Amino acid sequence: MEKIKYRDLIMQYLTALEPDQTITTEQVAQYVAERLLLDAAMVKKTVNVNMARLEKEGQIMRLTKGIYCRRVKTAFGYYTPDKETLFCKQLLRKENEIIGYETGLSALNRIGLVSQMPKRRCIATNLHTKRIPEGMQIEIRKPPIVVNSGNFRYLQILDAIRELDMAPVDTAKPIDVVRATVEEFTLKTEMLILMARKYYGQKTLLRTIDILLEGSYETARG
């Protein structure tokens, strides 16, 4: 009777999720434990067994150890969200909390500084020690500081400024692109300069001041 109850609770949790949400056994165990008024550690083993059974039945798909996604039944068969997209989401958010941001060439491409579409998507994340599943075109970097909702946009822009000289920037006016992005994200100039001073090298700090205060960066770069 207990196993049926566990399964019912797990299915209740899974069906409440959006199709493109990642599912971790830790979150499922926490949900089940709260409903049964038990400690999460006590129910985790049984939850793992049930998750493995649901995977065998084809209701969920394993992305990597302890991480799954739903297989959604449609009129045309089962729909499974893209594995890499789901894995990236896990690196970027933990429930409603932001824990990472896109950086490197893939971020420069999205911002409009680089036209080249990189093979790998680069993520700076608090989960920088996480193992990337084999075959996924994802690169994980350690952020300068712990990422949160209040700083991730600042870090993303400062990473871009730091990489301007090293990346194959091919837009006509990179400084204008950086400034437009700063304006789009409604970032504060003084905060960008402060963070550059605290968490980045001297070169990045000077470039940041130069770009934001309309200095002679383009002349210096040439």
Using DSSP bridges, classify how beta strands 121-125 and 100-103 pair: parallel, antiparallel or unpaired: antiparallel
Residues 6+ apart with CB under 8 A from 60: 14, 23, 51, 54, 68, 69, 70, 71
3-state helix, strand, coil in the chain (%, to 5): 50, 15, 35
Predicted local confidence at residue 124, as pLDDT: 98
Count of residues making up the chain: 222
| Other residues' Cβ atoms within 10 Å of the Cβ of residue 180 | 13
Measure the CA–CA gap between 201 and 35, rounded to whole angstroms: 49
pLDDT tens digits in sequence order for the chain, 222 residues long: 344 588 899 999 988 887 777 888 988 999 999 988 889 888 999 999 999 999 998 888 887 788 888 877 666 666 666 778 888 888 999 878 999 999 999 999 999 999 988 889 999 999 999 888 888 899 999 999 999 999 999 999 999 999 998 899 999 999 999 999 999 999 999 999 999 999 999 999 999 999 998 744 444 444
